[in-house]
Amino acid sequence: MSRVKAAVFASGTGSNFEAIIEADDLACDIALLVCNKPGAVVIDKAVKHGIPTLILDPKAYASKEDYEQKIVEKLHESGITWVFLAGYMRIVGKTLLHAFDRKIINIHPSLLPNFPGKDAIEQAYQAGAEQTGVTVHFIDEGIDTGPILAQESLTIYPDDTKETLQTRVQAIEHRLYPQVINQLVLKNL
Ligand code: GAR
């Protein structure tokens, strides 16, 4: 039986992208990186690992629908059935949501619903929170909303800096995301 194909969407550094593709026992093939930021570091990582890339600048499209329709066409063409958002800093619209209903998940560096949106690690740090964590969830039309699949918490220590906190949050992300992906994909085989 052929393996399930998935795409990772990312906009930046791509440490989660790399953690997914380097996971020992990933239950699906990462067949495409979709990136909305020409020049992003994650693109180099995909090239290094021999993963095809689709780099589309939304500014080149007349509307969000046109931009997402182009992505949907490419995903269908490539036989992709799952989408994993990993630092994709755009709100997913109706076109993608309808085409991949309940097949798009996201990772977010906080215990949602706390600290949605950008810079969630810094938000938790600046708020003086005693705990933060990581959430993996199905997406919907909101910002970092949608049914939660998994969460893991961590303590913010008084001597933490933003950097030490980020390192610990990302270590959880890199372990948790491949685990959740495997649970979902295997359930749907
Ligand atoms: C990750 O921490 C991810 O959880 C976060 O962006 C970072 C991307 O890092 N996503 C969000 O904040 C989504 N709202 P990476 O490019 O090194 O994987």
Residue 189 has pLDDT above 60, yes or no: no
16: CA distance to ligand 1 center in Å?
7
Q: Which amino acid is at 139?
A: I
Q: 174-185 b/e with 16+ CB inside 10 Å = b?
A: bebbbebbeebb
Residues lining ligand 1, Cβ inside 6 A: 10, 12-16, 86-87, 107-109, 120, 144, 170, 173
Task: Give me the pLDDT at residue 188, please.
Answer: 60
Q: DSSP for 130-145?
A: SEEEEEEEE--SSSS-
What digits encode the pLDDT tens for the residues 6-25? 999 999 999 999 999 999 99
What is the position in ligand 1's atom list of the atom closest to the CA of 10?
A: 16
Cis peptide before 147 (omega within 30 of 0): no
Q: For atom 8 of ligand 1, which residue has the closest CA?
A: 87
Residue 186 has pLDDT above 70, yes or no: yes
Whether pTM > 0.90 for this model: the answer is: yes
51 φ/ψ angles, rounded to the nearest 5 degrees: -100, 130
Residue 174 domain boundaries: 5-187
The residues assigned a catalytic role are 108
How many domains, the chain?
A: 1
Task: Give me the pLDDT at residue 78, please.
Answer: 97
Query: Cα separation of 81 and 35, whole Å?
Result: 17
Q: For atom 17 of ligand 1, which residue has the closest CA?
A: 15
Pairing of strands 131-138, 104-108: antiparallel
73: CA distance to ligand 1 center in Å?
25
pLDDT classification of 2: cutoffs 50, 70, 90: confident
Q: Which of 13, 108, 122, 177 to mutate to test the pocket of ligand 1 (most atoms within 8 A of CB)?
A: 108
Task: Give me the pLDDT at residue 95, please.
Answer: 98
ipTM above 0.90, yes or no: yes
Question: Is 34 marked as binding a ligand?
Answer: no
What digits encode the pLDDT tens for the residues 120-172? 999 999 999 999 999 999 999 999 999 999 999 999 999 999 999 999 999 99
Question: Is 92 marked as binding a ligand?
Answer: yes
Contact 111, 151 (CB under 8 A): yes
User: What angle in degrees, to the nearest 10, is found between the helix axes of 162-187 and 15-22?
Assistant: 40
Specify the CATH number for the domain of residue 15: 3.40.50.170
What digits encode the pLDDT tens for the residues 73-130? 999 999 999 999 999 999 999 999 999 999 999 999 999 999 999 999 999 999 999 9
